[in-house]
Amino acid sequence: MKVILLQDIKSIGKKMDIKEIPDGYARNYLLPNKLAKVATNETVKNIEVQKRVAKEEKETLKNELVILVKKLENIELHFYPKVGKKQEVYASITKKDIADELRKKLPVEIQKKIHIEINSDKPIKTLGKHDIEVNLEHEFKTKIKVILNKALLK
The structural domains of the chain, with segments of one domain joined by +, span 2-62, 65-148
Q: Report the C-alpha gap between 85 and 151 in whole angstroms.
A: 12
For the beta carbon of residue 38, count every other beta carbon within 10 angstroms: 13
Helices (H), 35-150: 41-72, 95-105, 108-111
- pLDDT (0 to 100) of residue 119: 87
DSSP letter string over 55-71? HHHHHHHHHHHHHHHHH
- pLDDT (0 to 100) of residue 136: 83
Which range, of 16-20, 32-36, 62-66, 93-97, averages the lowest pLDDT?
A: 62-66
CATH topology assigned to domain 2-62: Ribosomal Protein L9; domain 1 (3.40.5)
Q: Report the C-alpha gap between 130 and 28 in whole angstroms.
A: 56
Between 87 and 23, residue with greater pLDDT: 23
pLDDT at residue 36 above 80?
Answer: yes
On the question of a common fold for 2-62 and 65-148, the answer reads no
Class of domain 65-148: alpha beta
